[in-house]
Chain A
Amino acid sequence: MNYNWNWHIFFEPNPTGAGTYLDMLVSGLLLTIKTALLAWIIALIFGTIVGILRSLPSKAASWIGFCYVEFFRNMPLLVQLFLWFFVLPELLPSGAGLWLKQLPNAPFWTAAIGVGLFMSARVAVQLAAGIASLPRGQKNAATALGLTTAQGYRYILLPMAFRIIMPPLTSEFLNTVKNTSVAITIGLIELTGQARAMQEFSFQVFEAFTAATVMYLAINIVVVTGMRFLERSLAIPGYITGK
């Protein structure tokens, strides 16, 4: 392969004048983490609400949950980000639209909310499945003790369902991290974006992408390890999940 490798490139100053190429990549990494965390919080909140809706006996509630999930699942994430970023400000009353367009950090907020809502549909599906997997008698027992539906969810169903869906939630969180890279298309210079920028400035394509790859792998290892730790600390003595 006639490619000129230059691993020292990371320690050479980057064209922005602020630090080295490595600094550039690290700032991208941090932005990826920040965006993913905010998106994940949004995904958990909305996903929990919609997941609960889907599990309720009320036909109307589960229909609303179904529509929500279908809406966010049947459009590419990229298209959804475009809708939030380019289309929404134009469709709002002009004042609100202008405010949105002038929002500082618009790509960041759009990415976090857009990816968050996209992922919330998947969290909802997982949670609804988790709730459905609990024995029917659990809900009956909670009800028979006089707990209201809300209390039953809060104290009995959700704590168990979330424990059960911990493994799929781990991969959904990793998907959230990966999906933030789609926001490169609306101008968010996160890790992939910085790698791309480095490639354009320095022409060291493979070094740039190798570094980004290593960083994504590192995120994966940290998250998987962390979640395994969390899973273990939440494990119930004597109880075998997923039997």
Chain B
Amino acid sequence: MFGNLDFDVIRRSLPYLFLDGMSFTLMLTGLSALGGLIFGTLIALMRLSGYKLLGRIAGLYVDFMRSLPLVLVIFWFYFLVPYIGQWLTGASRPIRVGAFTSSLVTFIMFEAAYFSEIMRAGIQSISRGQPAAASALGLTYAQSMRYIVLPQAFRNMLPVLLTQTIVLFQDTSLVYVLSIPDFLGAASKVAQRDGRLVEMYLFAAAVYFAISCVASYGVRRLQARIAIVR
């Protein structure tokens, strides 16, 4: 059944697949995770701030994003970002936005909703005595968040945040719908150019599988270590 398959096509396209495709995927994953975490934390703080309106807005944003399929959100931002850019820069026409920027904005905004839920759970898991002790020492609300609550919440939630990042890593493959050459896009381009769908998709699957497996194994190890320290 592997008779007329040509696995050499993989070897020939390795530089393209990894130097172009995978580096795009990893860059997108890393920056989106970072941006998503920062925005997500801000959203979580808004929700827990005690200001009703602020909390309401943040909650609506999270629920809204989590109700939509990522593919639809990718399309939304692909068409929306040029207009947002125009509005921000005051240009006369919608600005041209590169594929990377467009996907990055999409994933940051989308993942922020998911990261915010994780951070919210993390912040709520810190006992109330902690911020109380911080204020007793004279720290302001911002200081107690910055130095006491957030570091603990972040550390407690690290395994969950990393697991979400693995999901994000897999989800970035959806930029395929914009014909962007991320790792899967690159594999697909070669597959279609050379008529080698079977080989290329099997290879892509194996690479995603290997990376995700190693990463989730790492997360499990980390989790076990944290569990012991506690």
Contact = CB atoms under 8 A, between A and B. Distances in A.
Interface of A: 1-3, 70-71, 73-80, 82-83, 86-87, 90-93, 174, 177-182, 184-185, 192, 195-196, 199, 205-206, 209, 212-213, 216-217, 220
Contacts of A77: 170
Contacts of A182: 69, 71, 174
B173 A209 contact: no
Interface residues of B, number: 35
B208 interface: yes
Contacts of A177: 69
B79 interface: yes
B70 A178 contact: yes
A192 B67 CA distance: 13
A205 B202 CA distance: 35
Contact of B174 (A1, A78, A205): A78
A91 B197 CA distance: 11
Given A181-B69, A185-B177, 16 more contacts: A2-B93, A73-B216, A74-B209, A74-B213, A75-B212, A79-B184, A80-B205, A83-B202, A83-B205, A86-B201, A178-B69, A185-B176, A192-B72, A205-B79, A216-B72, A217-B68
Contacts of A87: 197-198, 201-202
Contacts of A192: 69, 71-72, 75
B201 to A, nearest CB: 5
Contacts of B71: 181-182, 184, 192
B108 interface: no
B171 A76 contact: yes
Contacts of B209: 71, 74-75
A76 B75 contact: no
Contacts of A220: 67
21 contacts: A1-B86, A71-B209, A73-B216, A74-B213, A74-B216, A75-B209, A76-B174, A78-B173, A78-B174, A79-B204, A83-B201, A83-B202, A87-B198, A181-B72, A184-B71, A184-B177, A192-B71, A209-B76, A216-B67, A216-B72, A217-B68
A16 B67 CA distance: 30
Nearest to A223: B67
A179 B184 CA distance: 18
A195 B72 contact: yes
Interface string B50-76: 000000000000001001111110011
Nearest to A180: B69
Contacts of B64: 217
B87 interface: yes
B69 A76 contact: no
Contacts of B69: 177-182, 192, 216
B93 to A, nearest CB: 7
Contacts of B197: 86-87, 90
B72 to A, nearest CB: 5
Contacts of A74: 170, 208-209, 212-213, 216
B137 interface: no
B1 interface: yes
B79 A209 contact: yes
B83 interface: yes
Given A1-B87, A70-B213, A76 B79 contact: no
Nearest to B169: A76
A216 B68 contact: yes
- In order of increasing CB-CB distance, the 5 nearest A-B pairs are A74-B212, A181-B69, A76-B170, A178-B69, A76-B173
Contacts of A83: 201-202, 205
A78 B87 contact: no
A178 B66 CA distance: 9
Contacts of B173: 76, 78-79
A162 to B, nearest CB: 23
Interface string B82-97: 0100110000011000
A192 B71 CA distance: 8
A195 B83 CA distance: 19
Contact of B184 (A73, A76, A205, A209): A76
B87 A213 contact: no
Interface in B1-39: 1
